[in-house]
Structure 1
């Protein structure tokens, strides 16, 4: 499974998902990230394009990667952050 980071052509790159193993985020940050992934998933599902074989394959791959990422984030242990006073 690969994760693709896109920006300008000079900033785009791909990493194996196994290379990204630890991320320290708060529950609030996780909720925001998962909300963004739901938005991206919905946008991909609602995208209107000619259903060519390549498009269907690419769309299916993207949706599977999103699902895998959501599952990974939901199952990963998270640090409890200290209360800020």
Structure 2
């Protein structure tokens, strides 16, 4: 069973691999990721694809808004990591 902190780290690892020019160490949990990082739609899709590839987690398109902030990512993904 992964803790929320571990889920957050796994998401940060993916973001760090995609947003190579961004420093992910200071990401705030409640601020939209797109406001903090230079992410475009393709980067966002890459994050979703990496979740699937690395962790076998499917994120349906209608759930994309639930990945807007780090806090909402962890809240949404934690149960999926722990299935």
TM-score (normalizing by structure 2): 0.31
Q: Which structure has greater strand proportion?
A: 1
Compare the two structures and name the one with the higher helix fraction: 2
